[in-house]
Amino acid sequence: MTPLNLAHLETFLAVVRTGGVRRAAASLNLTQPAVTARIRNLEDVLRCTLFARGPHGMTLTREGERLLRHAESFAHLAERLTQDLIAPGALERHLRIGVSETIAQCWLPDLVARLHATYPQVEIELTVDVSRDLRDRLLAREIDLAILLGPVSDYTVDNLDLPGFDLAWYVAADDSADPETCLRRPVLSYARTTRPYRELKALLMEHVGPEARIFPSSSLSAAFRLVEARLGVAALPRALGAAHVAAGRLREFDPGWVPGPLRFTASWLGEPGNHLAEHAARTARDVAKNWDRDNNIL
């Protein structure tokens, strides 16, 4: 008889948490047949059926529910051992971080440097994407940590608030139009599927009216370039716009109102064994606060 081992329990937990063999295989970097074989091996060792397999997927049997409690205890103990006994430099893991472009243009390099100094053996993979797609990738376990316009409203996800970004209105530096005229031009915005776009659209409807024109863009850097080229105006993060103003490419204008700050969170799956992602999230918060202080944002 094959003895019970932690790999069997880890696979069992992955199937329970992801809701199926396919997603469990992806999260464990295994093939689906390998995951199925481990579950069957575990059932053979325990001499019981752990999952009821039906047309609507896999559900835990009574024995599976009992095993789940023990497996979670084992996972918690393994996490404590990792935290208490293994030196950070000894960890050899892969950390997949997804970030919004706003973060990528600010303090992301500082975060990577800090994580590399703490976990020199951890391979860090970066993805820059819009917040909606980052949320989907986090829930699909394609990334371990998402730094995005949050929070992520899902019971499986833990969210840590990060310092926000105040917005300011920008127009080309050589454009002398008054604020009211500026807002009659195309207004460049974040992507259509984002919260900032929806909020800006509502505010423009209130202050300008139905004739307001919004040009959404998934690229923050492109939005700055388009404003500089006098193709529109935009409400963009002041932390990033300051350099363009100092270089004489853009200027701020004040129509009497501005959209609210961008609110970001560091979000990760709150489950045993995910302490590396949690530590990275807390490091992100520290790095963001330091970046704000060093750039006189606070």
Q: pLDDT 10s digit of each residue in the chain, 298 long?
A: 556 677 788 888 888 888 888 888 887 778 888 888 888 888 888 888 988 877 767 888 888 888 888 888 777 676 665 555 545 554 447 889 999 999 998 999 999 999 999 888 888 999 998 898 999 999 888 999 999 998 988 888 899 999 999 999 999 999 888 888 888 899 998 888 888 899 999 998 999 888 889 998 888 889 999 999 999 999 999 989 999 999 999 999 999 999 999 999 999 988 766 778 989 999 999 999 998 887 765 4
CATH 3.40.190.10 positions along the chain are 91-164+263-294, 167-253
- Give me the CATH code for the 6-85 domain, please: 1.10.10.10
Strands (E), the chain: 51-54, 57-60, 94-99, 123-128, 145-149, 157-161, 167-172, 187-189, 214-216, 233-237, 250-253, 264-269
Angstrom distances, CA of residue 148 to CA of 108, 132, 137, 187, 257: 12, 8, 12, 23, 25
CATH, domain range 91-164+263-294: 3.40.190.10
Specify the fold of 167-253: D-Maltodextrin-Binding Protein; domain 2 (3.40.190)
Round to whole Å and give the CA distance between 16 and 282.
27
- CA quadruple 140, 141, 143, 146: dihedral, nearest 10: 70
